[in-house]
């Protein structure tokens, strides 16, 4: 088992990663009857895409002898109705400018093909922008 989710009431859950004991709270968003006081479940999906991309890029960067520490991603999630679902995720990734052009192409491809990106429904639009400006 990977994790455990407990419903706390009032449209809130506590999620626990069993191996580490790390936890986080989710809350329904204000546009769906919630308080919006924490990540919504759909926020965690969109944010998970960014986290996965940066993680696998970090693995590949280590293999290439490149340092990505300090890189950031800005995440924007768009929702659709009928059915209510994530329709689009926009990610702006800010990465070190010192990385060479060949390594950039390898790292960008690595990020775009991360496990989360490959697991999301094909109708979910992924708009990924890389800014090599840090």
pLDDT tens column, 77-124:
999 999 999 999 999 999 999 999 999 999 999 999 999 999 999 999
Structure tokens of 83?
A: 């059915």
Query: What pLDDT band is residue 55 in, cutting at 50, 70 and 90?
Result: very high
**8 and 68, same structural domain?**
no
Domain of 22 in residue numbering reads as: 3-32
Structure tokens of 103?
A: 């390594």
Task: Order across the sheet with 72-80: list the strands.
Answer: 72-80, 85-95, 125-132
pLDDT tens column, 10-41:
999 999 999 999 999 999 999 999 999 999 99
**85 and 23, same structural domain?**
no
What's the predicted TM-score (pTM) here? 0.94
Q: 């759909």: which residue's tokens?
A: 42
CB 47 within 8 A of CB 40: no
Task: Order across the sheet with 12-17: list the strands.
Answer: 3-9, 12-17, 23-27
**84 and 46, same structural domain?**
yes
* Number of domains comprising the chain: 2
Q: How far is CA 94 from CA 7, 62, 107, 129, in A?
A: 36, 17, 12, 9
Query: What is the distance between the alpha carbons of residues 19 and 99, in angstroms, rounded to a whole number?
Result: 34
Of the candidates 4, 1, 128, the one whose C-alpha atom is nearest the C-alpha of residue 54 is 128
**75 and 25, same structural domain?**
no
List the CATH number of the domain containing 113: 3.30.300.20
**126 and 87, same structural domain?**
yes
């Amino acid at each position: 088992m990977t994790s455990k989710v407990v419903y706390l009431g009032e449209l809130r859950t506590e999620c626990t990663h069993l191996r580490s004991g790390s936890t986080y709270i989710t809350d329904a968003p204000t546009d769906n009857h919630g308080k919006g006081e924490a990540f919504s479940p759909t926020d965690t999906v969109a944010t998970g895409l960014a986290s996965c991309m940066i993680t696998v890029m970090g693995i590949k960067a280590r293999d290439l002898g490149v340092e990505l520490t300090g890189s950031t991603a800005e995440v924007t999630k768009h929702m659709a109705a009928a059915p209510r679902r994530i329709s689009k995720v926009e990610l702006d990734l800010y990465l070190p400018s010192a990385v060479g052009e060949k390594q950039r192409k390898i790292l960008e491809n690595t990020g775009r093909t991360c496990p989360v990106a490959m697991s999301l429904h094909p109708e979910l639009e992924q708009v990924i922008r890389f800014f090599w400006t840090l």
